[in-house]
Structure 1
Amino acid sequence: MRTIKELHILFREAVSDTFFIWRKEAGRVVRDQGVLIFFILVPVLYPLLYAFIYTGETVREVPAVVVDGANTAFSRDFVRRVDASPDVKVVARTGNMEEAKELMRRTKAYGIIRIPDDFSRKVNRMQQAYVGLYCDMSGLLYYKALLTACTDVSLDMNTELQIKRMGNTTVRQDEVSTAPLLYESVALFNPTNGFACFLIPAVLMLVIQQTLLLGIGLINGSARERATLHTQLVQGTGRGTVRLVLGKALCYLMLYALVSVWVLIAVPQLFHLAQIPQASDLLAFMVPYLLACIFFAMTCSILVYQRETCMLIFVFTSLPLLFISGISWPGVAVPDFWKYVSWLAPSTFGINGFVRINTMGALLEDVTFEYVGLWIQAGIYFLTACAAYYYMIGESRKIASKRAQTELAQALPSESDLSKKAESLN
């Protein structure tokens, strides 16, 4: 049994060794331009790029072309009201669909409003009339604006027709007859009903995980290429795999604590995105998320044998992870198999918990499932990271030993060279 004094000395050595590795890893990060790009440049610029792209959460004056087959006062009134809405701008009126399609092919318009020949006749006969709407579905915001404008105008004109056909009635009777049930649509936690408030928070959390995967993969890929991972142990000794993992993780954690402030707080404020978090709850939630992402990235780095391999392995996973997280694609529509697969990545728990805390004002107890899940992931991935580094360190020693033997063999003269030299001397 060790005495308390011996345990105290061992603890001090462990702390000293961990901070020694932390200093070495910080220097390694600063000297590697590729790692700096993933750890600094990408987290700084990528959120700005995404937020800037989606900053126009709603579009106005979407160009549309009208094919008015009826060409009556009633159909022209319909077109005039659509054009007067803030969402749509009628840029042309054509006589047939082919001309309208040509305008869409040339991107002069993003939608076609087609009014059939019998439009006014059916309305006058108290029959149901139809208006066709054709949209360029490559831009969902354009489709949304066109559909909303046409639907609102149709509802307003329907109300006026009802009132007109009821005859002599009071204003109150008209209101009750045309709208017996009043409703009000409120977009909870997304006041602009746009894509930025909905999508950007999830992307920001995913950026943290993916840049850690790429940066740590780049560092380990370089070390495995050169077979120098074993030299990163404490002062070149053969001990300290756990201390190596903790020292490296401490370096990444301190760096990404600053990165997270920029990504998750500064960027949403710059673009006026919805933010109603409790600072203490958000901080408490981010600690296990960063630890889980760091140890997850350190574990996955066992797949990286060369410096460039991390780009091939990890970059393509961004979109699948975003979809199966249950944010950009409805969580209830994700099959159970992929839902369980998504639990392997910290981003799933991180995205769902962060969105609820940051955008919906949830407290830490409201995201207990995600919070506990992140701590479990942090613990499991810490153990797997230690196992991965133990394997990679042993592999690095073997490769370095073989290289040293090969270089020694090349440096020493062969037996045939020695015999020839002896013969020449004789």
Structure 2
Amino acid sequence: MSLRRRLLITLGASLCLLWLLASAWLLFDLNRSVRDTLDQRLVASAHMVAGLLSQVPRQTWQHTIGPQLSSPPGAGVACQIRSMRGDVLLRTRGDLGSVLNRAPPGFSERTSAGKRWRLYTEFDNGLMITVADRLDERRHLQWGIVLAAALPFVLALLGSLVAAWWSISRGLAPLDRLRAELARRDPDTLSPIVLDRTPAELRPAIATLNGLLARIARALAREQRFTSDAAHELRTPLTAIKTHVQLAARTDGERSRQALRDAEAGIARLQRTLEQLLLLARIEGDGALGSQECTIVSEVVAAALADLSHSERVRSCRIDRSAVIAAPLALAAAALRNLLENACRHSPADEPITLAVTPRAGDVVFTVCDRGDWPAGADPQTLIPRFARHAGAHARGGSGLGLAIVAAVAERFGGRLVLQARAGGGLQSALYLPAAASG
């Protein structure tokens, strides 16, 4: 069931129920008021007759012979005057003698010829005065009043239902505009949704939808970048591997074995590049990567050195092993390993790599220093973008993704990567990761 129909049914049923309850209460009160008013009319009629009779000398009644009739049998009202002895002095309806004669003092009801009568009797100045009216005429009068009063109620109810339908349709118009906007969009259109005169209740939903579109756009951009990067980076090693395999197939002896060794080395580089690309895509993704995890620095250093092929070249100094960072172990260790691996790859084999870990202003700084081939006067920040290389990178097996991964890890957890050229050559790489909150 649609929201519009559900609202119309709910509001319509509520309005009908409320109006019916109000009508029932008013009908009950109206019937009671009409009955009391007509009873008061009977009492007033009896008092009026008594007032008129009080002005007539009592001797007049002694000369009255039999009841005097003054109204036809079909009239809906009747009046009778009797003496205390029971003699009927005046009667307006001759056919109601059996009803009027048996009336007790006060109000009562009697039936004559299938008609129900309401009577009122009182004693005044030695006379018994009885007045009556027919109940079916009372009911006719009551229904006339009810119908006259019910017409405005019915019109008001119908007007309320029309107003509810109009208000609901107008209130749900922004939803219709949103549906139309989404229906008009192409699958490739991921720009934010903008609607005029958007109600406050719909703005959070549109903001959430725009956030979803933005995340989808970022995800698609990452996928396109990953595809482009993979196609760009894998084309050369695949071509080289194919060339080495073809050369091994066409030759024999030492040349064939060397070609196979070169192909195997190319496969290793290709595997490393794929691993780096996948890790970078995972870091830049919006999925949960354990951003609430905390890791001790000693565990990060141990994991990074365990995966490093030339860990014996690393010299540790000033390492605060008790410090805790607000980042998961796997990613922090991968970032530090990439820094150390980059330093080992671009430094002479006999040159040590120094590692220092120190807390600083809410961060934990991992500093790696080498004496590599980076010139002292050049800006090393140009090495951070993906696939950025300098002379000799291909010969040393670099893929141009190591520092990009380190920068992505730092950015993901609120840190940063700072590269500085050292006097005399080489790099100083400082990875800032936020320290975990104490307590």
TM-score range, shorter chain: under 0.3
**Greater gyration radius:** 2
TM-score (norm 1): 0.25
TM-score (norm 2): 0.25
